[in-house]
Structure 1
Amino acid sequence: MTGQRHARRQRRRGPRAMILTPLTALPFAAPALAAEPAMTPLADPVRLALVVLVAGLVLCLAITAWFHRAMRNRWRERMRAMEHALRHARLANAQADVFMASEPQALVSWPTPDGEPMVESDGQFTALNTPPGRILAFGSWLGPADAQAMDQALARLRDTGAPLSLTLRAGDRFISAEGRIVAGAPSLRLREITGERDARARLEDQLAATESELGAVRDMLDEIPQPVWVRDRDERLVWANAAYVRAVEATDVAAVTRDALELLDQTSRAEARRQRAQGAPWQARIPAVIAGDRRIMEIVETPGVSGSAGIATDVSELARLRDDFARQTEAHARTLDQLPTGVAIFDASRKLIFHNAAYRLLWTLDQDWLESGPSDGDILERLRVWRRLPEEADFREWKARILASYTAVESHEHWWHLPDGRTIRVVINPNPQGGVTYLYDDVSERFQLESRYNGLLGVQGETLDTLREGVAVFGPDGRLRLSNPAFASLWRIPREVVSSEPHIDEVVSRARRTAGDDASWMMLRDAVVGLEDRAGGTCRMEGRADADSVLVVDCRIAPLPDGSTLITFTNVSDSVRMERALTERNEALLKASQLRDDFVHHVSYELRSPLTNIIGFVEMLGNGMIGPLNDRQREYADHILRSSTALNAIIDDILDLATIDNGELELTREPVDVRATIAAATRGVEDRLAEAAITLHVEAPSATPGFVADGKRLRQVLFNLLSNAISFSDRNRNIWLKVREDGDAIRFDVMDEGHGIPAEVLDKVFERFESHAPDARRRGVGLGLSMVRAFVELHGGRVEISSRPGVGTQVSCFFPARAPESQGAASQGPASQGPANQAPAGQAPASARPALETPHGARPSAPAPAGDAPPAPAPATGETLAKLSPD
């Protein structure tokens, strides 16, 4: 210390000596100036200059000494400041060493922008298995994301001086990176975080990861279509996803939480609150209004530590699809129940889950037992016991093969030949969801049909071979596919040519030698190979069978469904010759029939005039206009009158039939009183009833409606039926006349207790001039029943007859309750085309148009079979209009 103070003193003395040195020269200059008394100090320029120079030097030295002193003081202060800074730097360096050693860290600085970095680190930091030279290779000891972030931040620090502060993760450790500009150079400090800071960094890292995951979850929840919401402990909405915002028609999540826009109604929220209070999640399917539409939502709300979270899934479409699936399943079940194929479906556990009616009927299994879901093995065992499965030597092995289908991937087909003779085709299809579907098809009938079909083909082949008609079938290509021997024989085609399936052109060229009808053959060819629409047709070809006979062949063309063409050739040479002969004979018969009809018509008109005169004169005789008659004369006159009247009625019937045959008879239709008409008809047979001692029972209910008809012809029909019944009844018998409604018709039944009509005669009772009376008393001309059928059919009705020999006959006439649409001229009906079987006519009033008839009965076109049961008079069900007895 003493040496230092001495040095400082020496340094202070040096400047002072320099200042005093010029002053020591002043005493030596004064004598020199005094030695020259004669001169003044300013008179001598040299002296003046010397003085000025000396003064200048002194001044310069003084200034220099001052400046030197000032600079020395400044440098002294600077030295003291530098010493102080050095002490502080050494202290800071020591403190930095202590700080650097307090925790693992590294310091990197760049003294020059382009120079190499300076790296300082302690041994603890390098324990991260990172050499000091590789510290800046962040990718070697940091994760990709941290390394990229560190490279970018360090580049900004060096380029722009932007400070950086990052927390990095190296394995299971956390590294703090801080960088800034220090003394004009960028510096980077890397230190390992330990202790509480490490725990905090880990928590911050976990928080960042959780926030990232939460953000990702929220982003994901914003993308899903299901509304999702979160509540706090106070049941307030704190968050909702975008679907929830759209569902409640809000603008954003803030509006949802601010306005508490609820998706669920108050009742649902209360139920959810009760479930959360018990610590259980709430799940329900409720209707809700979503964006203005009513939807079915599946709600799940789960309680949590800080509140609850819920999600709503729109199941409207699912519910609709489920309903559609249920309806479709039910429809499929109904459809399968209608199939004749047995269907049984088993699940993966081999339990029966569905069967149709055909399956149950095929195996005759109990419905209740099947609905209990028996296993496949149990069903096979039961069918085996009942002998409804194929007889197998090793049933267990056979059963194992059947059940192996549960593990198969393809369908299997089996043929079961049952002991009862049936053959079952079984198809086993594995189901995608596990289990199998059995299809049972009873093909026994198909095999039988196939056998019959093959037999039928053989029969048809033999039949074709024995036919006299030639048969040929040409395929779509025009070649002969099938023919019989008659075809080859007719056209004189060799069998070997027919067997070679010749084309239609070859067949035509060979057949023309027998019948050269080119137009007909071209028509046949066009029908086989023509491009126009295929249609059937007929033709006739003529040729020469030999030198003395003509060949006439009828051809018939019929297209077949498979595109082939069937042609049949019939040799009608004999038929044509016979037809020509019959035609000539028929023409002769027609001329004779026309002559007969003209004669009958002419004779009928010629007889009417004299017959009218006879009836007039007889009536005059009977009335006593000419003179009184005795009893015998009066009896003769009565017989003449009755016979003349009967003959007049026959002539009228003949004229009516002729009119009907010519289509000139017209009906005068008008409303008819049924009871009055019956009364008028019965009055015409009163004398005959009395003469034959027969009782007539008339049953006509007062409620019987009237109908539109020709009253005159209706009375004539009833009169003829009653006359016919009287003629074929014995004395002291009964006759019934009944009328009633029968559906849309008015039915008149006339029943007697006569001899009945044999079955072989029923077919002829409506023919004209046919009389099959058992004795001559009842025989007539046979026109009455012909007239009955003709008049009934002209009204649009029908006549039915039933009879049993020895019991009686019933004739039923059905008149339409409503008049038919056509009421014009009557056309000739079937009843007017032949004579009828009739009995002798009795006497009747002219107004009733009486006629005599054969045994009772009538039918429309063909006679009804003779009634095996007797037409016994049924008890009267209506009001009795009259009862006429012999008394």
Structure 2
Amino acid sequence: MKTEPSKRAGGRIPSLLRRFMASSALAALAGPALAATETMTAGGIFRSSEVVTFSVLIGIISAAMISAIWLIRQRGNIESENRELNTALADANHRISRFQALIADKNRRIVVWEGQSNKPEFLGQLPPETGAPQDDRDFLAFGRWIKSQSASELEKAIELLRSNAQSFDLVVETNRNEIIEAQGRVSGGRAFVRFVALNNLRAELAEVKMERDRLHGSLSSLHTLLDAIDLPVWQRGPDGAILWVNEAYTEAVEAANPAAAVKESRELLATVAREKIRALSTYDSPYRDKVSTVVRGNRTFFDVVDAKSTSGSAGMAINISDVEAVREELNRTLKSHAETLDHLATPVATFDGSQRLQFYNQAFQRLWDLDMSFLERKPGNGEILDRLRAGGKLPEQLNWKQWKDSALAVYQAIETQSDLWHLPNGQTLRVFATARPQGGATWVFENLTEKVDLEMRYNTLVQVQGETIDHLSEGVAVFGPDGRIKLSNPAFRALWGVTETEAKPGTHIRAIEQVCAPSYDQPDGWKRFSHLITSFDDERPSCQGILELRTGLILDFAVIPLPNAQTMLTFVNITDSARVERALTEKNDALRMADHLKNDFVQHVSYELRSPLTNIIGFADLLKTPAFGTLTERQAEYVDHISTSSSLLLTIVNDILDLATVDAGIVELDLSEINLTDFLDEVALQMADRLQESAVTLQIDTPDMLGLFVADHQRLKQILIKLLTNAANFAPDGSTISLKCRRDASDFVFSVTDNGAGIPQDILDTVFNRFESHGQHGGAGLGLSIVESFVSLHHGTVSIRSREGEGTEVTCRIPSGDLPRIAAAE
């Protein structure tokens, strides 16, 4: 009984496994196992626990097999999805490439902002002909390449786009008159602005749109303006029906509003007036006329203007009721004025807007002596000027047409024009031309002949006086009886250190006194002037004197009474003359003192110095005499030195005395006839010892007969001795000095030449200066000075020529003198 259930159970399990394995891909693998199980089961080998364990094993194997199968299927699914994703990525890249190609189009540029603070990103470019900058930073400076109004609208739209995500579509115009479409959008937190350069139809459409907006704006502004004015304005269609009216029209026809007036077809003008306007108005000639109508129960006059066009007509009515009333009053006033002007002595003429004569008075006709018949036919203003010019009554002009046009310009002027006409008959007219409010002009002719003549004389006198006073070297100031200055010239202000402002007319003399106080330390100076100027004495005496200022100026002043109780102060700067006078006086005193000192010196030298020198020389000569004893060699040498030095000192003293007497002007030449041949022998004999000491030979070159010559024998001899001595001093030992003499007419010309070292060029001009000694043999430097002085006393000239290494040549030219008359008589 127990075996049967086991059999039944063992029979069910293999059957289930077989069905399960058969339904899966593991049936092939599990087939032998199942067969073994069935065999085991059929044979009764396995027990129930073994069957359970085996079943669990089989389940685990089945689960592992199932997981492996699932993973294989999942892998296939993933590979399929990867293939789909790769396909989608390729499609996306393809679309991005197409989009990039679209963005890179040269007719588009996109600016992208991500967030508020991020820098924009730029894509694409606009054509260069639009004027858009290629650089990113310059592109956003819209005001530089887009017209100001379009740039302002674009900047505001971009600001609203980025801050409030407000999209926009704009058409902007560049400075090159190119049209660009700007579109602003927001997507994914980014703000995009696309700029598209429009071409062909789109550009034309954009231009038409912009033109439409401009016209719409202009029309709106015009309607607003017309609504603001108080003149009725209307617009009619081709059929004559009212299409639009302004506020003034609405009030005139007593309508509730302009729309009601149009809807109810309320007319301002009567039917007859409207028909007349329609009949007379043309495209080329608008209707203009005065029309009478009733407004709010009152008769009103309008000046109506109605212009016709292809789309209807437009008109305007100007209320001239008040103007008509004023015109009537004006006509009455003009008539009264005409009656008044006709009795005036001043010529007056009135012209209308067409420049034709409307009125003239009798004085006008008498002034220009024009025919009454000519004036009554109301000639034009230009015609009258031509008639006056033809009659020789107007001043001649270089350019008549230009002068005439300038005169007639009063009809277009706002201000009154005035001019002076100097007529050929000697009259001077001041011409006033005034434009009239109602048109035309009024001409007034004022005769200024006598006045101009007096003014010219007065102005000429004032100018002459002013110019004369201003250019005077004397300081001039004129004061009135009240002590206030009337005028002053620049010399007065310069002398006292006063500015033009401080001495302006009207300044009181006390203020002038305070300003001049620093220049003059005497308190009674200007007070005295003030008393003389402001005194009420019947007799105002003049006075004069000299003032010495702190600035060093010396002024010679004078107070001169003038007519009309005025007083003139004059100041003459005598500083220079006073200083010169003082200097001359001081110099004269100094010269006198110097002359006195010189005379004293000459006298002192003559009597105090020469006498001891003579004694020294005499005693030295006595010591050399054997009668006083024999001297040793050294003593004899000392005595020779004493004698030589004393002689040299005596020569210098004599030279100084000679120069002093020449400078003092007390030297008088002792003229006599000199035999020049004997004279030269005398000089040669006197120079023999001196030349022998210097081992120098004298060569005299003279003609056979030099003849007689009138001169001071002693002074001429001194000249030659000085020249020969000077040449011997500078001539080398064993050399020869030359004396050349000749007669040139009545002049005696001689020159002394040596072949010494010569004189440098830089000191050649100073050789005649006193006490100028050059070279090792130079003495006191008086020789050539004495030569020049004695030659000058003989009215002669002396010159020197020398070069270093070539010697020196001194040439003298002395004219023959005239013997005194007494000597000649004897």
What TM-score does the superposition give when structure 1 sets the normalisation length? 0.38
* Larger relative contact order (Cα-Cα within 8 Å, sequence gap ≥ 6): 1
